[in-house]
Amino acid sequence: LPAKDAGVDVWFLMLVPVDGEAEQGVFWGWGQDSGCHQSTARLFRSLSGCDSGFGQATARHLDIMGFRVFASVLDLQSPGAQELRRSCSPRLTLLQMDLTKPDDIQRVLQHIQAHTNSTGLWGLVNNAGFNDTIADAELSPLCKFRACMEVNFFGSLELTKGLLPLLRSAGGRIVTVSSPAGDMPFPCLAAYGTSKAALSLLMDTFRSELQPWGIKVSLILPGYYKTGRRVGVCSLPKQQLLASLPQELLQAYGEDYVEEINQQFIQFMKVAVEDLSAVVNSITDGLLAANPAVRYYPGQGLGIMYFIHRYLPYFVRDLFLKGFFINPKLPRALHTSPQAFAQPKHHPPALWGNNQH
């Protein structure tokens, strides 16, 4: 659920711009409030993260609906990019983009501007997602926090700001795939969760500020889905994490602690949902509905999860997330000598006004 769209699966959900232009004619959309509505227009869609997972499935779906789509991928020769070339019509254009490289983003922005300047851009789908560290926040290197922020937050921010002039001229839509991990403290997902929390707040701010321009902004918060990452890929980041830990920290937690986290995450990934249609339908609704929802929650179990998070005591929330996601054994230092850490070594400092003389 954490990275539902990402967990660590996120590697394959790099932000990609997709620019979709519908044929001059009629399209149909379904909104939560308005039901079915009809409209005629030339529509352009910009999608991100199309190498695999949600981005690839959405790009294919919009192409089938008749839109012209500009889909950005990390590698133009990747299996996902080749599959899009094979299965989609000439309306779909693939663009290479690495969200950590400003030059790539600027090149993509220039391409989209050149092809939509006279009509504007109807929709941008931010599908950025990156995470390769499953570990306690204390064990996660700072560079991993920065990497998640660079892709999941700053890349999406730069791309969105760059396309806003085109979106304003069309009164278009911004749909962003975030994660429940940005709303809840999932164990061992601090780097990913904090970047998604920043992304969600940013998009909510855009939603409020862009209302006068007629731009509607929606967030997608999916359950846990299989988006392309193979389970066996987790072993390399784990080994890199162990090699990077200071000896004192490694002794306090133990290699077994890190290994168990890794194994629990692998088991969690095995039960992820393969059918991405609920997420694709939510993204499509955010783009086409007359009154799109501010937040979409595609996936089973999210209702009870958010209920527990919002209304039940903290200890219940923590127990639920550990039971649902990752609940490792005690770190080595606590396992071997728990009494040494059972009580604080010092009392909190007394308030100034309570000092006795």
pLDDT digits (tens, 9 = 90+) for 230-284: 444 456 678 889 999 999 999 999 999 999 999 999 898 888 888 999 999 999 9
State the catalytic residue, choosing from 192, 224, 225, 257.
192
Of 46, 43, 94, the closest CA to residue 73 belongs to 94
Mean pLDDT of 114-131: 87
Show the CA angle centred on residue 270, arms to residues 267 and 271, nearest 5°.
105
Residue 306 among the catalytic residues: no
- State how far the Cα of 59 lies from the Cα of 191, in Å rounded to an integer: 28
- State how far the Cα of 52 lies from the Cα of 233, in Å rounded to an integer: 16
- State how far the Cα of 172 lies from the Cα of 67, in Å rounded to an integer: 14
Of 145, 134, 116, the closest CA to residue 187 belongs to 134
pLDDT digits (tens, 9 = 90+) for 325-357: 999 889 999 977 655 555 566 666 666 555 555
Residues in contact with 137: Cβ distance below 8 Å, sequence separation at least 6, in sequence order: 190, 191
Domains of the chain: 9-231+273-321 (3.40.50.720)
Q: Is the pLDDT of residue 14 over 50?
A: no
Question: How many whole angstroms from its chain centre is CA 230?
Answer: 18
More confident residue, 1 or 188: 188
List Cα–Cα distances, 235 to 83, 130, 266, in angstroms: 27, 17, 10
- Per-residue tokens: 227: 């988006």
Question: How many whole angstroms from its chain centre is CA 28?
Answer: 27
- Per-residue tokens: 126: 């931010």
Q: Which of 98-107, 111-120, 224-233 has the highest mean pLDDT?
A: 98-107
pLDDT given for residue 16 in this prediction = 30
* Phi, psi angles (nearest 5°) of residue 290: -60, -35
As a whole number, the mean pLDDT across the chain is 81
Q: Is the pLDDT of residue 317 over 90?
A: yes
Residues in contact with 23: Cβ distance below 8 Å, sequence separation at least 6, in sequence order: 66
Mean pLDDT of 131-152: 94
Of 347, 348, 293, the closest CA to residue 34 belongs to 293
pLDDT digits (tens, 9 = 90+) for 63-80: 999 888 889 988 899 888
3-state secondary structure of 301: coil
List Cα–Cα distances, 253 to 135, 185, 257, in angstroms: 11, 20, 6
Mean pLDDT is lowest, of 12-26, 93-107, 163-177, 320-334, for 12-26
Q: Is the pLDDT of residue 177 over 70?
A: yes
Residues in contact with 114: Cβ distance below 8 Å, sequence separation at least 6, in sequence order: none
Burial letters 315-338, b for 16+ CB under 10 A, else e: eebeebbeebbbebeebbebeeee
pLDDT given for residue 34 in this prediction = 32
| Beta-bridge mates of residue 343 | none
- Whole-model pTM: value is 0.82
More confident residue, 198 or 2: 198
pLDDT given for residue 5 in this prediction = 38
Structure letter (DSSP) for residue 90: T
8 Å CB contact between 99 and 15 = yes
3-state helix, strand, coil in the chain (%, to 5): 50, 15, 35
- State how far the Cα of 308 lies from the Cα of 302, in Å rounded to an integer: 10
